[in-house]
Amino acid sequence: MIFNSLTFVVFFAIVLGLHRAPLPWTAKKIVLLVASYLFYAAWNPPFVILLWISTVVDWWAAQAMVKSGRPWTRRAWMITSVVVNLGLLGFFKYGQFLLDNFIVLAGAAGIAYQPAKYDIILPVGISFYTFATLSYTLDVYLRRSKPAKHFLDYALFVTFFPHLVAGPIMRPTELVPQFAEERRATPHMMLFGMALLTLGLFQKVVLADGFLGPVVEAVYDARKGVPMALDAWVGTFAFAGQIFCDFAGYSTSAIGVALALGFAMPDNFRFPYAAIGFSDFWRRWHITLSSWLRDYLYIPLGGNRHGPARTYAALMGTMLLGGLWHGANWTFVVWGGLHGLYLSVERWLRGRFASYRPGPWMLAAIGALTFLLINITWVFFRAKTFGGAWTILTSMVGAATKPVAMIAMLPMIYAMTIVAGIVATHWAMRDKTIELVIQKTPPLLLGAIWAVMAMAIIAEQGKGSAFIYFQF
């Protein structure tokens, strides 16, 4: 079940109606829990078992860590949680990847190894809920937070359907306390939540799928031929717009759905294409993932507390693993490695020119360079193979042999206009929030914009597809 479907509209209407019905709070939480399992089971019912395993193992591990006063017992339960969660993630997401690489290594050693076909389906959203459940047991082990008092509250935290399959990656301390007492959306929360849902679906259905997706596919999924330099650049810029509208669209929709039910979830994007530098970019892009990587990888690897060399190694290690989190392919590792390199170079430059204070024009130039270099990384994120990525990169620098035009003029104009509009909007909103803009916008104008987005979504229905980040 996806947000951009009629099935979800019916599902959400029923859930919302039951949530506002005169029922006891415990009954309402049970309704939300059952609804969340149904939401997830719509993809593949047996995979609900994986959710149960993660939920039960982490619940008992956290309870046991609190009850035990012995350090080795607490450590054993923490390791059990980590092994179970990462074991499930590794088997379903990285099993084929590891097997393929083992076959290559065996072949290099002169061993012809042909195993049985590894035909395993990837459970949707497993990377997201694995990180969410791991944060629970790790925080309890590190004494950053106390375990949930009630199993129902914790189970609902794991499975709460707005964030279950593609984030935001919630921390227990952000959501579990909200289940303690009855929550019901005020009229303002309901209105704002539905506005966010409409905005998110507009980004996904109309912009990402309707205008940008076909342009990206024409360049990156071409079966034969090499794109011209202009086509390669336009296709890559279009993907920058598509991946933002697709993923930010999901996060915005998820936050809106949760708000309409009376729950608050953190922002996951803050206008990232207005970033000035790469550390700024990661404070604005997929915020809940970047903060998770910082707290549970970068800082444990040493952070910036043990000298420059250790800091650069921690940055690179964190981003390489962050790249691998996105997909079982070496192209994602290169994508993460490039970001690690960017962050390391930026940190070195900041230390080298610590007293330098750039003016407005220099800040704009740094922002433009940041956006350009980020687009280079998107090539590896979107291309399925290194050969495909190399084809795009050689075309970008005008070194392709016998290139051909792959994008018609009108779709190219539409795509570049939308991308330019996204970047301009990010810069205009760089230090603002959507809430503030909505509050200052005249109600009549706001209603007209809302109506236009809603009509555009309806007009594009039937053409949309699953969100890109569902595969992660």
Catalytic residues: 326
End-to-end CA distance of the chain, in Å? 16
Assign 289 to helix, strand or coil. helix
Q: Is the separation of the CB atoms in 138 and 153 below 8 Å?
A: no
Q: Is the separation of the CB atoms in 212 and 237 below 8 Å?
A: no
Distance CA 180, CA 22 (A): 18
Please report which helix (H) or strand (E) contains residue 226, including its range.
Answer: strand 226-227
Q: Is the separation of the CB atoms in 236 and 378 below 8 Å?
A: yes
Strands 226-227 and 403-404: parallel
Q: Is the separation of the CB atoms in 233 and 396 below 8 Å?
A: yes
Joined tokens for residue 337? 């490695």
Q: What is the DSSP letter of 209?
A: I
Distance CA 201, CA 457 (A): 7
Q: Is the separation of the CB atoms in 149 and 307 below 8 Å?
A: no
Distance CA 337, CA 318 (A): 9
